Chain A
């Protein structure tokens, strides 16, 4: 079924707003769950919207020693990365007009990481520089288990098309059931992609203040906040698409599954302390990679399947 031009235009206009609003609410759910686990009250539901609105109306100050171009472009780059992924993802029964390719999604999910590296090194602050170097190390370490665990699903379906991956799961069950180890590895990398504990090392506030974001203020920080809201939708949505059969082609089930993913992440975040960068590096390249590789071998050779 080819979607008509009007419906695809509507999709491209509505999807970013939908992603932002749902992502902001997911982010609030995360903060609320974490706060309750920490015996705090937590923010009201509109906190993210209030933050973004306030920041967008404020003046953005660029440090004198910052590289102006990089400093300005980095938040936009992060935003672009999540936006492109968002427009490729099927959400329940809403399919994108242009069928998303898994490789494109994975590559564009790296873009915000690159943007953070640029933001930190371009801001001219020592905290930013150290934050950037930490983000670089984490990006290098996390891409391997992240991509391998995502590719397990593609290898099983023998297609890179995310729509086909979702459809195939509707026939023979979710990947989480067939490849639990890859799913665990994917969840570990998801914590990192969302900048949560134990992997919130690039902006560990007690060590390097806000890391790469230290010098950002006003509307530029607002754009980072918007992309943060987007990532709280994109990353759980990708997980649901790849491992939980895309919510059985039902928007409501899809969002519920996303919420469960968010709740699990909140729980993991509240139960962990922060890794040191070398410990995180070792952990990602040994345990997370090992889990992903075991399922990669199972998917490509057809061993021990159920």
Chain B
């Protein structure tokens, strides 16, 4: 008879609150269920009540790790709506900050993954190396986490020559740190042993669940928004999309590892061919037609999607966000079944889950367990009553 083993809502392996219900027989997981919703903050609701400029900063706070991806995507959607052309220099600056963010996100993830397999020494050193990137981001944007770098029509800051120099030096340090990660991951026998052949996600399952980002690329799905639907300056740069076909946790490790090197390549190229000119267009009073637009960017965890509907005022009618973890979390139940409980944290960590961006309102009736989802219309009707 299977025993229910709870992981969460508070658990040392989880960075945020979520709840996994694993049904285990001994050490083997026979069934898994995921319950999200511990972190709902009503960002979409708030976004429809603030001006476009306020929303940039609101959307940046959807996620603490891919904050720049959110503000880039939001600004690009508004630029699509208002048909604003972004200066070339701003496009390159956006690429550099986006790739720095991907680097720090992947370093953070490697640290967490090492902690999960019990290699705390590697965890501490990787987070120490991540600090190089955090300092670089701070020197560029002024802040470590919520950068406030993007604005509608460009970026809010420009690189000074001294910052450019420090980035070039920093990138070399990061490359050395990436080599250290590569040595740890590829040479340590125990790490390999733990990650090999666990959390398998087949191509068919990956397509059915529509996973995105590194999770999809580790399951032989060749998808990357940076190449498939180029934004910013990605179409002008030369880089590769990393795809592996093993589909296990080790493949997801390798995909992220190689993506670190691609990001370093991208930043170097962008720095070399950084065009001169203004960093933002003067948009004056923002005039938006009644229209709809959507935009996608490749966040560190995968495809991030924004939909926006304007109604002619300075406040959006509707902002819809679909975050990458929303798609990837759904794959966890498939990945977990059949594995051992000891592997569960690594499998969960292998998709780099992020919960606060995923949570949506669901009202659960405690008496009969019925779940109802509340639409915007009902909410506003309730408010009117």
Contacts of A39 in B (CB 8 A): 124-125, 128
Q: Give 1 or 0 for each of A173-210: 1 = CB within 8 Å of chain B CB.
A: 00000000000000000000000011011001111110
Q: Is the CB–CB distance between B120 and A275 below 8 Å? A: no
Contacts of B115 in A (CB 8 A): 206
For the complex, is A276 an interface residue (Cβ under 8 Å from B)? Answer: yes
Q: Which residue of B lies closest to A275 (CB)?
A: B190
Contacts of A207 in B (CB 8 A): 13, 341-342, 344-345
Q: Give 1 or 0 for each of A120-150: 1 = CB within 8 Å of chain B CB.
A: 0000001101100110000000000000000
Q: Give 1 or 0 for each of B1-24: 1 = CB within 8 Å of chain A CB.
A: 001111000011100000000001
Q: B345 touches which one: A197, A206, A273, A279 (CB < 8 A)?
A: A206
For the complex, is A68 an interface residue (Cβ under 8 Å from B)? Answer: no
For the complex, is B27 an interface residue (Cβ under 8 Å from A)? Answer: yes
Q: B118 touches which one: A34, A126, A130, A273 (CB < 8 A)?
A: A273
For the complex, is A278 an interface residue (Cβ under 8 Å from B)? Answer: yes
Q: Is the CB–CB distance between B5 and A130 below 8 Å? A: yes
Contacts of B114 in A (CB 8 A): 273
Least Cβ–Cβ distance between B2 and chain A, in angstroms: 11
Least Cβ–Cβ distance between A267 and chain B, in angstroms: 10
Q: Give 1 or 0 for each of B121-158: 1 = CB within 8 Å of chain A CB.
A: 11111001000000000000000000000000000000
Q: Is the CB–CB distance between B119 and A273 below 8 Å? A: yes
For the complex, is B225 an interface residue (Cβ under 8 Å from A)? Answer: no
Q: Is the CB–CB distance between A204 and B119 below 8 Å? A: no
Given the known inter-chain contacts A133-B27, A201-B342, A207-B344, please indicate yes or no for A276 contacting B121, CB distance below 8 A.
no
Cα(A37)–Cα(B121), bound, Å = 7
Cα(A38)–Cα(B119), bound, Å = 10
Cα(A274)–Cα(B190), bound, Å = 7
Contacts of B26 in A (CB 8 A): 133
Contacts of A276 in B (CB 8 A): 193-194, 340, 342-343
Q: A204 touches which one: B122, B190, B342 (CB < 8 A)?
A: B342
Cα(A274)–Cα(B269), bound, Å = 40
For the complex, is A277 an interface residue (Cβ under 8 Å from B)? Answer: yes
For the complex, is B117 an interface residue (Cβ under 8 Å from A)? Answer: yes
Q: Which residue of A lies closest to B119 (CB)?
A: A273
Q: Which residue of B lies closest to A276 (CB)?
A: B342
Contacts of A200 in B (CB 8 A): 118
- Residues of B in contact (CB 8 Å), total 34
Q: Which residue of A lies closest to B191 (CB)?
A: A273
Cα(A145)–Cα(B165), bound, Å = 58
Contacts of A130 in B (CB 8 A): 5, 24, 27, 341
Q: Give 1 or 0 for each of A260-298: 1 = CB within 8 Å of chain B CB.
A: 000000000011111111110000000000000000000
Q: Which residue of B lies closest to A204 (CB)?
A: B118
Cα(A34)–Cα(B120), bound, Å = 10
For the complex, is B116 an interface residue (Cβ under 8 Å from A)? Answer: yes
Cα(A272)–Cα(B184), bound, Å = 11
Given the known inter-chain contacts A209-B12, A272-B190, A273-B191, please indicate yes or no for A38 contacting B341, CB distance below 8 A.
no
Cα(A38)–Cα(B344), bound, Å = 25
Cα(A174)–Cα(B122), bound, Å = 36
Q: A197 touches which one: B24, B118, B128 (CB < 8 A)?
A: B118
Contacts of A34 in B (CB 8 A): 121
Contacts of B124 in A (CB 8 A): 38-40
Q: Is the CB–CB distance between A274 and B27 below 8 Å? A: no
Cα(A107)–Cα(B122), bound, Å = 37
Contacts of B228 in A (CB 8 A): none
Q: Is the CB–CB distance between A205 and B5 below 8 Å? A: no
Least Cβ–Cβ distance between B119 and chain A, in angstroms: 3
Q: Is the CB–CB distance between B118 and A274 below 8 Å? A: yes
Q: A270-B120, A272-B190, A273-B117 are in contact. List 4 more A-B contacts (CB 8 A).
A: A39-B124, A126-B6, A273-B122, A278-B27
Q: Which residues of B contact A (CB under 8 A)?
A: 3-6, 11-13, 24, 26-27, 114-125, 128, 188, 190-191, 193-194, 340-345
CB<8 Å pairs between A and B, sample of 11: A39-B124, A126-B3, A198-B190, A205-B12, A206-B12, A207-B345, A270-B120, A273-B118, A273-B119, A276-B342, A278-B340
